[in-house]
Structure 1
Amino acid sequence: MEHTVTQVWCELLGREDVDPEASWFALGGDSMQAIQAVARLREHGADLTVSAFLQAGTVRALADLLSTATAGGGTAGPRRPAGTPVPLTPIQAWFFAQDFAEPHHFNQARLLPVPQGLPHSRVQAALEAVVGRHEAFRTRFTCHHGTWSAHLDEQPPPDLPAYPLTAGTDQPSCEVLDPLHRGLDIADGPLWRAGLFTGGEQQPSWVCLVAHHLIVDAVSWGVLARDWQRACTQEAPALAAAPALTTPTPLPDEEETAYWRRLATAVAPRLRLTDGERAPYGKLEHHTLELPGHLTSVLLGLAEGGQATVPALVLAALARALAPLTRGDGLHTYIEGHGRQHLAVGDQVVGWLTSLYPLHLTPEARDRVHLLRVAADFQQQMEAVPYGGTGYGTARYLAPGTPLGRELAAMPRPEVTFNYLGRHSTNSALAAGQTGQGIGPGNVLPTALHLTAWIEGQALRLHLSADAGLFPPGAIDEVCKRLRTELDDATGLVPLGGRPLPGARPHFLVHPVDGQVHHFQPLARALGTSGWDCYGLHAEPTDEAEVGIEALAASYLARVRSIQPAGPYGLTGYSFGAAVAFAMARQLQEAGERVDHLILLDPPPLPVPKGAAATTVLAEHMATLLPHTPRHAIDEALEAVGDGATGRQIAAQLGLADDTFVTARLELLMRHHRALTGWAPSGTVEGLHLIQPSANGTRPQEGWSGLARGARRSVVPGDHGSMLTEPAPLAALYPSPVLEGGAR
């Protein structure tokens, strides 16, 4: 069972392997993916709930749990007849309370891929099997004397009209899909509609399924995607009935009630909005931001450190982006969650179960700190919300006459809504792309700003919608710029330790030639216990042909100043990074700043080797990067491409041109190699500490010593790599900032 659990986790988290003792969230997982994981494990015969999955937390604990409880997979009762009442969910009650101008036009839609060659009749049968499995598609809503209720109706066979794809396109356009969104009726039906889009032999085919939001949510589409795959691939498309929602959402217990009462009486920050009429959805301003793959991977790395999740990091960036427009500290926002914590079969149910609740997120630190520190504070506050926030909607909208319901109705409403949709692979059974206008242009949303975030493939994507007329002119553009800058800055500097000790002092460590900073983790943990707050400066891919050492130093100092605007500074450079750290120290001192500590770990010899000697060093670095490539193949590739070759040329010579990860790493390696071989150090610094591993023997470093007005040399056990992986002797050579007076 542990092998099965590991396989599912690796598939969903995009990893080759996982530590069986590492927690789901520390590995980058989120609650949305947890629902997907439970569904996958059910397919392997596991009897599991989402809450049990999250409570187990690790591969090993989950495998132990499942080894004593397999089989099952969720039970469904007999098909319930038309007229059966269905309890409203809190979010459905919220919807009716909004009194939207176009309540029938509040939809979601997805494109479902049709297997090549599947005839129209089989596609229609598959669609009938999928929608027939879930009671949501038979639900109707009625209003009596101002009170809404839900009941089941009969479901007629689905109509699936066919439309041609435009020549030369792979997906239907929004203009073609928009008509599918019109004409739904929440009382009399239909609440969903579908269309089949087909093209020529070289074009894919799709079913666009449009459903009113009252009967689907983000999790539902994952359920429908799995059903769709089964219905399209098995000979008989019929599917067993899914579990149904039969009991109302429970009212908050005593502990929950106390939590929401504290929130209702707290003083929350407010956006500085101008007076004016609220703009309908059709007049909102929309912005889309994308964090490139290499920066998203750094952001995920921050999340995998366990202090904060991706949603907390994005919320921290949003809080800072909105700070100039906010009265008070922190961020007052509605949070959307999946709302399925109380359901044993939440991974199998289609319906609108989203939780929507207010939260006042407050950073503990008032000074400028790394975004991760703010996100860690936000994460703790988000984790303190009981039952994923479902109790708020239950009391506020399903029991508005209770004392708690009245208190929640009277509290100030946030003007921000945040929704994190999780992580989606590019080979998902649901196609990415536009699916038409889901929300009626006349509907007025309840908050002035909405931010939706998700990870698609390798990139973090953000969609911001705002009622720009309520903000000062140009304010939303500035918010988007600040939001992107905050995320860029967060990925430019990587906190390497846990939460720092009180009074800890920043210390910045510059990457070696491969551009990575994970090498410093053991050293950073050791230094953290003595009062250093360590940050890694990693390299970023760039389109520039050449980046010299001095230019890198200036760029890295801009990142450093985002955390520590003024000295005294502490810098460490490892291998190639020693040259950059030296240049940073010299530039700081020339600007009148103090650099108390400049520590160079096993730096390259000076003068820097040229010609054949430099090529030999480069080949050694490549052999480390490409452990499965024979050394002779690397030597032959370098000889074939000659001096000045790019990483892409070398990758092609090695037959690795299609491996984008390897190509990017080789490109970075070559850029740093050329930067170092073209560098001639100039000027001097006040002092430096050269530290070499004992495996290097007594290799002289007079070239470095001559660049300092006072240099010290030390030797630690080990070699170039183990001096960092076994860091105790190395960490002992760093002075204690506490003894020096702590943070200054």
Structure 2
Amino acid sequence: MSGFQERIKQLTKQQKLLLAKQIAAENSFKGGGQSNSNQSIVAYFIADEPVEANDLREGLKDKLPEYMIPSKFVQLDELPRLPNGKIDMKALKLPMEETSIIFNKGVFAPQTEVEIQLVQIWEEVLGFSPIGVRDNFFEIGGDSILSIQIVTKARQKGIFLAPNQIFEHQTIAELALFAKSENKNIVEEKIAGDVSLIPIQHWFFEEHKSAPHHWNQAMMFVVPENINPALFQKSIDYLIEYHDALRLGFQKTDEGWNAFVAKPAEGSVFTLIDLMSYSQDEIDSIIEERSKELQSNLDLSKAGLFHALFFKCRQGNRNKLLLIAHHLLVDNISWQILVSDLESICQQLSRGGEIALLSKTTSYHQWGNHLIELSTAGEFDDEIEFWKRQTCLESIPTDLHSALPVYEKSIKTIVLQIDSAATENLLRKSNETYHTKTEELLISALMLSFEKWAKTMSICLGLERHGRKYGKLDLSNTVGWFTTYFPVSLKIEDGTNFKSSIISIKEKLRSIPNEGIGYGVLRYLKKVEGLTQMPPVIFNFLGNRKPFDSDVLDKGEFVSKGVRSVESERYHLLEINAYVEEGQLNLHFSYSEQVHKQETVQNLVELYKITLHQVIEHCSMLESSEYSPSDFPEAELNQDDLDNLLNQLN
């Protein structure tokens, strides 16, 4: 036998079934980004008494991968057999009632109440319709941050999902099987006292020594004139009492930095500023001045790192609400939680009712303790060798010699915007070809660009994840900075071969254990030696950035001026932040004038624009799908074995 035949012989029956089933279920034509598979698994069984299909599905959840759970069950008195004793497959008839109804072109309609509600949530979050119950979340534009939004919106409708379930069950048909109607892990507690630093905070204090007090995030809202500032003051005070992380403070000792959560203060962090007598030009100037003054004077040792400034303007000039938080307290998902809760509190107070918010999830304090327990127990010890292999030895072109760190005052940014048609293609259609996620295609295009710009086939990237997905603990409705940051060494073999490059990047990114959470635990909590990598380039895909508009707060947007000290340090040469807004992909390439000239980085930006369009076109033009080993993780095959097996099955 050949080596391949030996490998096929060694495959278990379940591995072969797994491959055959998933290929059949996912093999679809290119049609507007929607899956057209009408394949389904039908289970035929015999039993002494009638059995409900839902009971059978429930019993199979722990025994089969979700995509192997039958969608239909047929109970028979006996199984039809051929004279040789084998099952007579032709005699098995399909059930009379189809459980999946197709509407439009290739879109499977929801059948249960949970599926109907999940479809509505997906369409709201992803921003288009129709979405079918068999459409893959990540292949139609979903990302990790949007998955948290879905978990939160589902909770508002009484559907409880764990943050990791959308990654494990990527279609509504599968997800609905695992949804619960109650959350048994709710822990309502108010925290005060010493708490543990989590890995991203350790990273922050390790890198930012010159001005750690001035590294903030801020949001500005236009507020309707009929809203009473006193209503906002009460709402902000309640918000700070409810979310423990907004009362965080940090103290420096001889051993390092410590964190604590203060008790709700008697005073308020809400400030009303009367601008009724000023013109619009004066108002803008005063707002910017007051914002910079407050942000540059935060005191880490005091629990006053979240502030609200309400600017009362004269009639004709809209009132403004500025929310400022030190980054140590919040991340992007935290802002979504805070804005939603603030709106809800204001509405309930205006009606004179009691305040009732969504149930709390795992607290910041519990999460920090949990990570320490995992570190002590050696939970991530088997990842140590993987992380040590992520070396950062490669260099990128520089124009000027300057030792790290570079400083914020030298940072400039070039913005690249991709048109809506190409963005739509990227999010909806391109991912079907190689069963990729959007981030994987963006990084593939970056690596192909580096091959021309930096004359290198390999680079070490610093990547970020939202850090809210590990184990059974739920952080989906918890305010805090939970981001995971880690290095990953990427390599392509041939800069002209898009297929091999995309598959190579996809496979490497999917080999990252536990979304990178173990790296921070091992480096900062367990203090494993050899994990001191400093990637020269950071890439961060922030997903689909939706406007923070609401009935109470009207239009909201992030503020960029004055949020960081000009003396803040950077230990990387390039930083690329990508996000989708109003249907267009935006990429911000930031660099330091200490090491790069504008034209050098501009060349990279132009190369990336051309390459990304080529990647999108390449993926969109192919008529058939290509698989790689990470599409079948249970089968444990390499690419050659998989290709041969697919050829045999086809």
Whether the TM-score (by the shorter chain) exceeds 0.5 is yes
Equivalent residue for 1:52?
Answer: 165
Alpha-carbon distance, 1:490 to partner: 3.1
Equivalent residue for 2:328?
Answer: 214
Alpha-carbon distance, 1:413 to partner: 2.2
Cα deviations across residues 531-577 of structure 1 (Å, max 9, x unaligned)?
xxxxxxxxxxxxxxxxxxxxxxxxxxxxxxxxxxxxxxxxxxxxxxx
Equivalent residue for 2:264?
Answer: 155
Measure, in 1, the Cα distance between the counterparts of 2:584 and 2:455.
33
Give the alignment partner of residue 479 of structure 2, picking from 350, 361, 367: 350
Measure, in 1, the Cα distance between the counterparts of 2:270 and 2:547.
29
Cα pair distance change 1:461/1:200, threshold 3 Å: farther
Give the alignment partner of residue 265 of structure 1, picking from 389, 397, 400: 389
* Aligned partners of 2:250 and 2:259 also within 8 Å: yes
* Aligned partners of 1:8 and 1:37 also within 8 Å: yes
Equivalent residue for 1:196?
Answer: 310
For residue 215 of structure 1, give the secondary structure of its aligned residue in structure 2: coil
Measure, in 1, the Cα distance between the counterparts of 2:442 and 2:183.
38
Alpha-carbon distance, 1:58 to partner: 1.2
Give the alignment partner of residue 244 of structure 2, picking from 135, 138, 162: 135
Cα pair distance change 1:382/1:163, threshold 3 Å: farther
Equivalent residue for 1:740?
Answer: none
Alpha-carbon distance, 1:169 to partner: 11
Give the alignment partner of residue 463 of structure 2, picking from 322, 329, 335: 335
Equivalent residue for 2:130?
Answer: 17
Cα deviations across residues 628-649 of structure 1 (Å, max 9, x unaligned)?
xxxxxxxxxxxxxxxxxxxxxx
Alpha-carbon distance, 1:266 to partner: 5.3
Measure, in 1, the Cα distance between the counterparts of 2:588 and 2:522.
30
Q: Percent identity?
A: 21
> 383-392 or 272-281: which moved more?
272-281
Residue correspondence of structure 1 range 30-179 to structure 2 within 5 A:
30-66=143-179, 69-72=180-183, 75-81=186-192, 84-156=193-265, 157-162=268-273, 164=275, 167=280, 174=288, 177-179=291-293
* Aligned partners of 1:39 and 1:348 also within 8 Å: yes
Alpha-carbon distance, 1:200 to partner: 5.1
Measure, in 2, the Cα distance between the counterparts of 1:50 and 1:176.
39
Equivalent residue for 1:420?
Answer: 541
Cα pair distance change 1:214/1:171, threshold 3 Å: same
* Aligned partners of 1:338 and 1:355 also within 8 Å: yes
Measure, in 1, the Cα distance between the counterparts of 2:129 and 2:598.
48
Equivalent residue for 1:384?
Answer: 511
Cα pair distance change 1:304/1:314, threshold 3 Å: closer
* Aligned partners of 2:534 and 2:571 also within 8 Å: no
The TM-score normalised by the length of structure 2 is 0.70
Tell me if 1:298 matches 2:425: yes
User: What one-letter code is carried by the residue in structure 1 that aligns with 2:611?
Assistant: E
Measure, in 2, the Cα distance between the counterparts of 1:145 and 1:483.
46
User: What one-letter code is carried by the residue in structure 2 that aligns with 1:95?
Assistant: F
Tell me if 1:399 matches 2:517: no
Measure, in 1, the Cα distance between the counterparts of 2:574 and 2:387.
21
Measure, in 1, the Cα distance between the counterparts of 2:449 and 2:416.
14
For residue 435 of structure 2, give the secondary structure of its aligned residue in structure 1: coil
* Aligned partners of 1:180 and 1:194 also within 8 Å: no
Runs of 5+ consecutive residues of structure 1 not aligned to the other structure: 503-528, 531-744
Cα deviations across residues 64-83 of structure 1 (Å, max 9, x unaligned)?
222xx2023862333234xx
* Aligned partners of 2:376 and 2:526 also within 8 Å: no
> 232-241 or 296-305: which moved more?
232-241
For residue 62 of structure 1, give the secondary structure of its aligned residue in structure 2: helix
* Aligned partners of 2:494 and 2:501 also within 8 Å: no
User: What one-letter code is carried by the residue in structure 1 that aligns with 2:544?
Assistant: R
Structure with the bigger RCO (C-alpha within 8 Å, sep 6+) is: 2
Cα pair distance change 1:19/1:470, threshold 3 Å: same
For residue 325 of structure 2, give the secondary structure of its aligned residue in structure 1: strand
Structure label with greater radius of gyration = 1
Measure, in 2, the Cα distance between the counterparts of 1:119 and 1:180.
23
Measure, in 2, the Cα distance between the counterparts of 1:52 and 1:331.
32
Equivalent residue for 1:523?
Answer: none
Cα pair distance change 1:19/1:473, threshold 3 Å: closer
Alpha-carbon distance, 1:263 to partner: 3.8
Alpha-carbon distance, 1:294 to partner: 1.8
Cα deviations across residues 636-668 of structure 1 (Å, max 9, x unaligned)?
xxxxxxxxxxxxxxxxxxxxxxxxxxxxxxxxx
For residue 391 of structure 1, give the secondary structure of its aligned residue in structure 2: helix
For residue 251 of structure 1, give the secondary structure of its aligned residue in structure 2: helix
Alpha-carbon distance, 1:48 to partner: 2.0
Cα deviations across residues 577-609 of structure 1 (Å, max 9, x unaligned)?
xxxxxxxxxxxxxxxxxxxxxxxxxxxxxxxxx
Residue correspondence of structure 1 range 561-710 to structure 2 within 5 A:
none
For residue 161 of structure 1, give the secondary structure of its aligned residue in structure 2: strand
Alpha-carbon distance, 1:115 to partner: 4.7
User: What one-letter code is carried by the residue in structure 2 that aligns with 1:10?
Assistant: E
Tell me if 1:465 matches 2:590: yes
Alpha-carbon distance, 1:319 to partner: 2.2
Tell me if 1:275 matches 2:396: no
For residue 605 of structure 2, give the secondary structure of its aligned residue in structure 1: helix
Cα pair distance change 1:4/1:265, threshold 3 Å: closer
User: What one-letter code is carried by the residue in structure 2 that aligns with 1:319?
Assistant: M
Cα deviations across residues 668-687 of structure 1 (Å, max 9, x unaligned)?
xxxxxxxxxxxxxxxxxxxx
Alpha-carbon distance, 1:96 to partner: 1.2
Equivalent residue for 2:621?
Answer: 495
For residue 134 of structure 2, give the secondary structure of its aligned residue in structure 1: coil
Q: Give the aligned CA root-mean-square deviation in angstroms.
A: 3.1
User: What one-letter code is carried by the residue in structure 2 that aligns with 1:5?
Assistant: L
Alpha-carbon distance, 1:146 to partner: 2.7
Alpha-carbon distance, 1:276 to partner: 1.6
Equivalent residue for 1:476?
Answer: 601
